[in-house]
Structure 1
């Protein structure tokens, strides 16, 4: 086993996920991203994995734990966005949102939380959204999964924080600045959330002392109304 601390980022796609892998790597950690799609990111260790398949996740994570020890930081960051009127939203869309966000979180947690407890703790962060708090029109599939994800995170915090695992739910209340979001939204990029700034916020919350743990952290641009 090496002395390098392990950080895992599930949902390590272009944008926040890869920024998190880069941040943890820059901090000297063995940072590994898990992504359902192959990645071409240079200089980052990102492995293709079906996050809804417990056996696949365990097959990827277990050897890392053997080599580097239990992860010090785990981030659950997958998203599956469906925007459609409820009557135009298929049951397959609803299930896909649930599987890609809620089931994947349960799978990741079952593969990492027990080793973290045995190792004395760590930080488990779940990325939420505005839809974690309120369901907007045409967001029934997405919001229902985000609500469930928030509830799961609250339960995990109450169960595992006494054992030393800091469980955090972040509410990303705004548009993340990525090439894709610039295509979709006619919004001034200066009013978007920068992935490097978000990654720094995740890092800072992972370093909080036990006497002042944050469970829910809401992040938004200065210009965003709330």
Structure 2
């Protein structure tokens, strides 16, 4: 079973579809149910401790412990620092960091007890550097990267491959095309990202990747 938190339209659904083609039972979690979701989908607030624990306990009872867990939530706030409220910081932290903490608490030990698995976190350019008007988003992405490093050092010896994937670019969705007006060749194809996540989840234990970065060929870095 693969469990994707933040399984909305775009990358989340591409991830579920790729792993379903590979023989996995796909289960998605998110606050908004996409049209015709891949596999099983549970609508919930991923920052709600009680809801996350209850739903994932139910999923594991029905489908068994996950072999792959992907944290793919995001909360983008773009504003000058003087206009960024404390609530903006709290919301970005809760959406990206608190949700990852709750997801890991509900899935890590079941994976360990089942013999191991893979836990992948979707990061961003802001995981590495903070840009002007991105203080809320970058501070949460920095925290998420640190959390992922700590989880890797604690759980990899127990058989759980923990990976942080830095997505340095705009993911190609209809919404991003409408919003940014970019040529798709300058954006990241969600199916191609999903293929990379598939490969990460099948690495031999002698060569585990902890962090990698992905970007379009046209992207400056």
Offset at residue 51 of structure 1 (A): 0.6
TM-score (norm 2): 0.97
Runs of 4+ in 1 over 4 A off after TM superposition: none
Partner of 1:152: 147
Alignment coverage as a number of residue pairs: 221
1:70 maps to which residue? 65
Identify the match of residue 108 of structure 1 among 99, 103, 106.
Answer: 103
Match of 1:92 among 83, 87, 90: 87
Contact 1:10/1:78 (8 A) holds in 2: yes
Task: Please name the residue that 2:39 is paired with.
Answer: 44
CA distance in 1, matches of 2:202, 2:178: 35
1:27 alignment partner in structure 2: 22
Match of 1:174?
169
Alpha-carbon contact 2:16-2:38 (below 8 Å) kept: no
Whole-angstrom CA distance in 2 between matches of 1:100 and 1:27: 29
**1:208 counterpart = 2:175:** no
Structure 2 counterpart of 1:3: none
Give the Cα separation in 1 of the matches to 2:67 and 2:178.
36
Q: 1:72 to 1:187 in 2, by over 3 A?
A: same
The secondary structure found in structure 2 opposite 1:65 is helix
Q: What does residue 214 of structure 2 align with?
A: 219
Name the SS of the counterpart of 1:51 in structure 2.
coil
Equivalent residue number for residue 161 of structure 1: 156
Q: With structure 1 as the length reference, what TM-score do the two structures score?
A: 0.95
Stretches of structure 1 lacking an aligned partner (at least 5 in a row): 1-5
CA distance in 1, matches of 2:161, 2:40: 25
Residues 26 and 38 in structure 2, CA contact (< 8 A), matched pair in contact too: no
Deviations 1:149-174, CA, capped at 9 Å, x for gaps? 00000000000000000000000001
